[in-house]
Amino acid sequence: MKQTKYQQIYNELSSSIQDGTYKPNSKLPSEHELADAFGTSRETIRKALNLLSQNGLIQKIKARGSVVLDLNRYEFPVSGLVSFKELSEKMNRSSRTIVHQLEKKIPCKWVREQLDLSDDSLVWHVVRAREIDGERIILDRDYFPVDYVPELTKSICENSIYDYLENDMGLTVSYAKKEIVVEEADEDDLLYLDLNEYKHVVVVRNYVYLNDTTLIEYTESRHRLDKFRFVDFARREKQ
């Protein structure tokens, strides 16, 4: 089938991005410059750029233009339940966890509803930035009911809370319900993450359960847009 002009331009720009002609975090030429280079209209260029954006090759940033994304993004398993420590060890990358907040408190009404807690219940509230290769690209906001997790320390939070729950407390973390959305970056994201001009983050909300169906944790894990791709494996069941 004969390709349209914008598909041809998309293929050429895509190849240039994938072979490294355009480096990650660099800018593509402007729509006007691309239109001149390809001898076509800006509308045709805009269609090709939209296709690049849809396929995760560029990010359009207001007042900056089309920025090339890093194709070697970290794979985040949607259906899996892994700790950051396990994920970073699998990636074989330099990483660390920075604990910004650890306190025992009565949570707000919204958090109580997520964890199905009574009005006077206490939770551990943990805020941690996750750094990979020198960049802070994940912000975790965790809530654990004190009734099930009576003690947490900064050292535990810097290492792995799941390791502590399973190996020290003898609990069995079994499954999670997840919700994935894209939201505008909030004050914590701007303060604790290296956003590099990105105005949105990918938020993974986790409701984590023990094997006896006890809801043990509610977490908001906030990821920088250009650093992750969320993957899953699905098998069609016979009808």
Quote the CA–CA distance of 225 and 69 in Å, as a whole number: 9
pLDDT of residue 144: 98
Quote the CA–CA distance of 57 and 36 in Å, as a whole number: 22
pLDDT of residue 70: 72
pLDDT exceeds cutoff 60 at 21: yes
Task: Name the 3-class secondary structure at 101.
Answer: strand
pLDDT of residue 230: 74
Quote the CA–CA distance of 74 and 231 in Å, as a whole number: 10
Better pLDDT: 144 or 51 = 144
pLDDT of residue 77: 65
**C-alpha separations of 33 from 36, 65, 100 in Å:** 5, 12, 45
Q: Are 60 and 49 in contact (CB under 8 A)?
A: yes
pLDDT of residue 25: 82
Pairing type for strands 74-77 and 228-231 reads parallel
pLDDT exceeds cutoff 90 at 238: no
Domain ranges, ordered by start, for the chain: 5-68, 74-231
Lowest mean pLDDT among 29-38, 48-57, 165-174, 209-218: 48-57
Q: How many CA atoms lie within 13 A of 21 on its CB side?
A: 10
pLDDT of residue 24: 83
Better pLDDT: 55 or 217 = 217
Lowest mean pLDDT among 40-44, 151-155, 208-212, 233-237: 233-237
Q: Which amino acid is at 12?
A: E
Handedness of CA 147, 215, 90, 180 (dihedral sign): negative
Note if the pTM is more than 0.75.
no
Tokens encoding 89? 């060890």
Specify burial of residue 6 (Cβ count, 10 A radius: 0-12, 13-18, 19+). Answer: buried
pLDDT of residue 109: 96
Each as own residue / partner, the long-range contacts of residues 82-89 (CB below 8 Å, 24 or more positions apart, any chain) are 83/160, 83/161, 83/162, 83/163, 84/130, 84/138, 84/140, 84/160, 85/159, 85/160, 85/162, 85/163, 86/160, 86/162, 88/130, 88/132
The arithmetic mean of pLDDT across residues 184-196, rounded, is 95
CATH of domain 5-68: 1.10.10.10
pLDDT exceeds cutoff 60 at 233: no
DSSP 198: -
H or E stretch covering 122: none
Quote the CA–CA distance of 195 and 180 in Å, as a whole number: 19
The arithmetic mean of pLDDT across residues 164-177, rounded, is 92
Handedness of CA 85, 146, 119, 115 (dihedral sign): positive
Tens of pLDDT, residues 60-116: 887 788 988 876 666 666 666 667 777 777 666 788 999 999 999 999 999 999 999
Tens of pLDDT, residues 115-166: 999 999 999 999 999 998 899 999 999 999 999 999 999 999 999 999 999 9
The arithmetic mean of pLDDT across residues 32-48, rounded, is 94
pLDDT exceeds cutoff 90 at 47: yes
CATH architecture designation of domain 74-231: 3-Layer(aba) Sandwich (3.40)
pLDDT of residue 63: 75
